[in-house]
A and B are shown apart, each in its own frame.
Chain A
Amino acid sequence: MAVKTYLQAISDGLRQEMQRDKRVYVIGEDIGVYGGAFKVTQGFQEEFGAWRVIDAPLSETAIVGSCTGAAIMGLRPVAEMQFADFISCAWDQLVTVAAKQRYRAGTAVPIVVRLPSGGGFSGGPFHSQNPESSFAHIPGLKIVCPATPADAKGLLVSAIEDPNPVLYFEHKHLYRRIKDEVPDERYTVPLGKARVHREGDDVTVVTWGAMVYTADEAAKQLESDLSVEIVDLRSLSPWDKEAVLTSVEKTSRALVLHEDTRTGGFGAEIVATIMEESFESLDAPVKRVAAPDTPVPFSPPLEKKFIPQVEDVLAGLRDLAEY
């Protein structure tokens, strides 16, 4: 077992799958010769050749659409969107074609679309978004949002194995900032199974992706006063309702945290489910901490205000504790 960055874990997981399974290929913009905008596929083309590491034209529709065709023909495509934001250009191919093909026609579409997402470095409105909730609303798609290097690898392997279209959101702010031990051998982390990132008794924070670390910092700062449990969902579709409800029934207080904007965010679904199924165990109304309903701004003070910060989580946790 070696210590690896989140980015290296994704890269190694992908490389291992390509070495193991000839059906797996990668396609995207600038992923071959250049190794990808974030270098996730650096060195892949030398190892696997230009027909398994495919530099595509600037054509998100053709990239995702062709993955669907190739998947139906028996391959296991892994597409890279250069930034998650550009997935809007392939909306139809994911939502209209890939997501509905199994239900309508009985045809499985085993594709993975990798989506470098999230803000924190002045990427502006088109290089910083977290569009997961838009897709969580679409029956037929699966959604994965790893927070740790070990999960990044294990969830990627599961996503490739899965017979459905899977959107794999990899948070750009975690790429080189987060390091941890990652097993060398092949392993899977099941989709739809949450992870308790930190155990606690007083309040539950439900979150995913980069916000796991924001929640963790807040929990550490409150350690002497409040025992915070952090549930890292790891995937949003399917999502681990049982793990959330079990934790909320233990702590009787819940805060849902996400980097995506507030209205219609996936947090609303979690809150509604807690209200429907665990209302009796609550000692306080469930709280949401999320980005405000604006595009992601560019200038640092604006972006800092936009992305939920440790202080926002602290304030939310204190409110809940005092209710």
Chain B
Amino acid sequence: MAVAREAEPVSSLREVKEAGLDREDLLNVYRSLLLTRGIEDRGHILYKQGKIPGSFYTGRGNEAASVGVATAMGPDDVGTPLHRDMGVHVVRGVEPWRIFAQYMGRVDGPTRGRDGNVHMADNKLGLIAMVSHLPAMLPVAVGCALAFRIREEKRVALAWFGEGASARGDTHEGMNFAGTRRLPVVFVCDNNQWAYSTPTHLEYACENLADRAQAYGFDGVVVDGTDVLAVYREAKRAIEKAREGGGPTLLECMTLRMEGHAVHDDASYVPKEMFEEWAKRDPLERFRSWLRENADLTDEEEEEIAGQIKKTLSDAIRRADESPLPNPDDLTEGVYASPEDLDTPHHK
């Protein structure tokens, strides 16, 4: 029996304005969606060209979920985005060329070649770098929220996790602790229905993961993760509620992982009909149509935006490619922090 609230779709421009977005904001959301997919598409090509070592992960199908939530964050809010959440890095302002440098293992990537793919974050933009062990970052985000509560700051932490990670104890401990203390944290589940090859019915036995929120003493909401405006509106509600002392929310964004777990995986275990059905709900196409119908997006604007994105991506790849590979002699540097490392906006 489902107990979480199901979010309504956002239908009109009036509703969007009520939720706090004007037309220019909407165009920025559209740009972020395009840039998110563009970075991953171009990254995939670079990977096939042998310019990216290791493996390569994309969040295709999850763009609206990540962009929608990140757009709802305040400037001083923080979060722990994961490997399907490129849109969060894009919205928070990580420069695309640094993302490509990260992919290519260059010194100008956020981890300076010490870690790869989406294992990155710019701490100055309020993001904390993920680890592979999911959802180990969830209790970390809870700790950010705890710090805000201790200092009585009106800031909110965003904790991302996937439905696969919901099976691990870190999720339970983090949510339970946040619930007991009513901490200002929003748990965002990117439910893309597949944990590598494992389908949801082998991952959890409740109807919605958001139903679990009730057991932790807070609200659960299920939202269509391909509808960027619905995601934005629900994230905004949850974030502002947390900011005002109303405690956590578990926001479950329903999507489909439109590619394999990583690029080596052809996802042959996903039924073809499932891909076909979800392809009709492509988040970028959905939002583009919505903008044309509701916000008078013109052919000229579309072309102009597409041109900007293309140029941004080409410039970014060129600049990233100019960034040097790390010097092997620096291998052992930086294992331990020095006092200067505490010179960040967070350590005032």
Q: List the interface of chain A (C-beta within 8 A of B).
A: 25, 51-52, 54, 56-57, 59, 61-62, 64-75, 77, 92-93, 96-97, 100-110, 139-140, 142, 163-164
A61–B341 touching, CB < 8 Å? no
B142–A66 touching, CB < 8 Å? yes
- Among the listed A56, A92, A108, which residue makes an inter-chain contact with B133, where contact means beta carbons less than 8 Å apart? A92
B144–A69 touching, CB < 8 Å? yes
Which residues of chain B are within 8 angstroms of A93 by Cβ–Cβ distance?
Answer: 136, 139-140, 170
User: In the complex, what distance in Å separates the CA atom of A66 from the CA atom of B174?
Assistant: 8
Q: How far is the CB of B140 from chain A (nearest CB, A)?
A: 4
- Among the listed A56, A75, A96, which residue makes an inter-chain contact with B147, where contact means beta carbons less than 8 Å apart? A75
**With A73-B143, A74-B346, A104-B114 given, is the CB distance from A92 to B170 under 8 Å?**
yes
Residue of B nearest to A59 (CB): B173
- Tally inter-chain residue pairs, CB-CB below 8 A: 152
Which residues of chain A are within 8 angstroms of B52 by Cβ–Cβ distance?
Answer: none
B337–A105 touching, CB < 8 Å? no
- Selected interface stretch from B40-48, B120-128, B292-300: B120-128
13 inter-chain pairs at a CB distance below 8 angstroms, sorted by A residue, are: A57-B177, A65-B173, A66-B174, A69-B140, A72-B128, A93-B170, A96-B131, A97-B131, A105-B110, A105-B114, A105-B121, A142-B336, A163-B341
The verdict on B9 contacting chain A, using a C-beta distance below 8 Å, is no
B136–A163 touching, CB < 8 Å? no
Which residues of chain A are within 8 angstroms of B115 by Cβ–Cβ distance?
Answer: 104-105
A104–B177 touching, CB < 8 Å? no
Which residues of chain A are within 8 angstroms of B141 by Cβ–Cβ distance?
Answer: 69
**Count class of interface residues, chain B:** 35 or more
A66–B119 touching, CB < 8 Å? no
Q: How far is the CB of B336 from chain A (nearest CB, A)?
A: 5
The verdict on B129 contacting chain A, using a C-beta distance below 8 Å, is yes
Q: How far is the CB of A201 from chain B (nearest CB, A)?
A: 36
**With A92-B136, A104-B111 given, is the CB distance from A61 to B173 under 8 Å?**
yes
User: In the complex, what distance in Å separates the CA atom of A140 from the CA atom of B335?
Assistant: 5
Give 13 new A-B contacts, CB below 8 A, not counting A70-B147, A73-B144, A102-B336.
A54-B146, A68-B140, A68-B143, A69-B144, A70-B146, A72-B143, A73-B78, A73-B346, A96-B136, A97-B136, A105-B115, A105-B128, A105-B129
Which residues of chain B are within 8 angstroms of A103 by Cβ–Cβ distance?
Answer: 114, 334-335
Residue of B nearest to A50 (CB): B181
B177–A70 touching, CB < 8 Å? no
B112–A70 touching, CB < 8 Å? no
Within 8 A of A (CB), among B63-111: 78, 110-111
B142–A65 touching, CB < 8 Å? yes
Which residues of chain A are within 8 angstroms of B112 by Cβ–Cβ distance?
Answer: 106
User: In the complex, what distance in Å separates the CA atom of A109 from the CA atom of B128?
Assistant: 11
Interface string of B140-182 (1 = CB under 8 A from A): 1111111111110000010000000000011001101100100
Which residues of chain B are within 8 angstroms of A102 by Cβ–Cβ distance?
Answer: 334-337, 341
The verdict on B50 contacting chain A, using a C-beta distance below 8 Å, is no
**With A57-B180, A96-B131, A109-B337 given, is the CB distance from A62 to B111 under 8 Å?**
no
Which residues of chain B are within 8 angstroms of A110 by Cβ–Cβ distance?
Answer: 337, 342
Q: How far is the CB of B218 from chain A (nearest CB, A)?
A: 15
User: In the complex, what distance in Å separates the CA atom of A101 from the CA atom of B142?
Assistant: 17
Q: How far is the CB of B173 from chain A (nearest CB, A)?
A: 4
Residue of B nearest to A165 (CB): B337
Name, among A100, A104, A107, the residue most crowded by chain B CB atoms within 10 Å (CB to CB): A104
User: In the complex, what distance in Å separates the CA atom of A299 from the CA atom of B335?
Assistant: 42
User: In the complex, what distance in Å separates the CA atom of A71 from the CA atom of B142?
Assistant: 12
A62–B131 touching, CB < 8 Å? no
User: In the complex, what distance in Å separates the CA atom of A246 from the CA atom of B234?
Assistant: 65
B144–A65 touching, CB < 8 Å? no
A69–B119 touching, CB < 8 Å? no
**With A68-B143, A96-B131, A140-B335 given, is the CB distance from A62 to B157 under 8 Å?**
no
The verdict on B347 contacting chain A, using a C-beta distance below 8 Å, is yes
The verdict on B338 contacting chain A, using a C-beta distance below 8 Å, is yes
User: In the complex, what distance in Å separates the CA atom of A240 from the CA atom of B131?
Assistant: 32
User: In the complex, what distance in Å separates the CA atom of A140 from the CA atom of B341?
Assistant: 14
Within 8 A of A (CB), among B231-290: none
Which residues of chain A are within 8 angstroms of B129 by Cβ–Cβ distance?
Answer: 101, 104-105, 107
Residue of A nearest to B121 (CB): A105
A66–B133 touching, CB < 8 Å? no
The verdict on B348 contacting chain A, using a C-beta distance below 8 Å, is yes
Which residues of chain A are within 8 angstroms of B338 by Cβ–Cβ distance?
Answer: 163
Residue of B nearest to A55 (CB): B180
- Among the listed A68, A92, A105, A108, which residue makes an inter-chain contact with B342, where contact means beta carbons less than 8 Å apart? A108
The verdict on B228 contacting chain A, using a C-beta distance below 8 Å, is no
**With A72-B123, A105-B121 given, is the CB distance from A62 to B176 under 8 Å?**
yes
A69–B177 touching, CB < 8 Å? no
